Amino acid sequence: MPSLVSRISDLATAVGNRIKTIEQRPVFRGSLTASQTLTNQAANTVNIASVTDSHNAWSNTTRTYTVPQTGWYLIMGRIRLMDNLAVGTNYGMSIDSAYADNINMTWATTVGVTLATRRATLDNQRLVYLTQGQTLKLFVFLDVLLGTNSISSAELSIIRVR
């Protein structure tokens, strides 16, 4: 029977190997550094610029994340539209390789009567299996009736979970 010291040593080695595996998983977080004006009634790629990227998978030129490892990923996006959008403004967000109005798109419509109540934030997150080389972008679609057509902030997080 192995000694207690030997068993503790084996356990420490196993835990250390598990931690190394977790540390090698890709982690990405990026955010918009200044407000961005959007083209009305069109898919807009969000200008994510300030990034933390464990695997150098982000391209500032194309605003694209290229998946470095096959596996399960938690992808999360958030946008904050400029205040005082017109009532009835439709806006949507998607995190995908190309813009498509499909199940991955989150939509909302502004409501409210006073200017103080016309504020809008939208979240989009999902767990998805991605293969190495696939690309992801954060898209926003805005259908503005009147007034502003900008986002004041945005962020994108991509984390390999398994």
Q: Per-residue pLDDT tens, the chain, 162 aa: give them.
A: 677 667 766 666 665 555 555 568 889 999 998 999 988 888 999 999 899 999 999 999 999 999 999 999 999 999 998 877 777 788 899 999 999 889 899 998 877 655 555 677 889 999 999 999 999 999 999 887 666 688 899 999 999 998
Q: How high is the pLDDT of residue 76?
A: 96
CB 139 within 8 A of CB 94: yes
CATH number for the domain including 139? 2.60.120.40
Q: How high is the pLDDT of residue 81?
A: 85
Q: Whole domain around residue 61: which residue ranges?
A: 26-160
Q: Could you tell me if residue 76 is inside a domain?
A: yes
Q: How high is the pLDDT of residue 77?
A: 96
Angle at 24 between CA 22 and CA 27, to 5 degrees: 90
Q: How high is the pLDDT of residue 79?
A: 93
Handedness of CA 145, 149, 152, 153 (dihedral sign): positive
Q: Could you tell me if residue 130 is inside a domain?
A: yes
Q: How high is the pLDDT of residue 110?
A: 75
* Pairwise CA distance, residues 11 & 5, whole Å: 10
Q: Could you tell me if residue 11 is inside a domain?
A: no
Q: Could you tell me if residue 4 is inside a domain?
A: no
Angle at 36 between CA 30 and CA 103, to 5 degrees: 65
Q: Could you tell me if residue 84 is inside a domain?
A: yes
Q: How high is the pLDDT of residue 82?
A: 81
Number of domains observed in the structure of the chain: 1
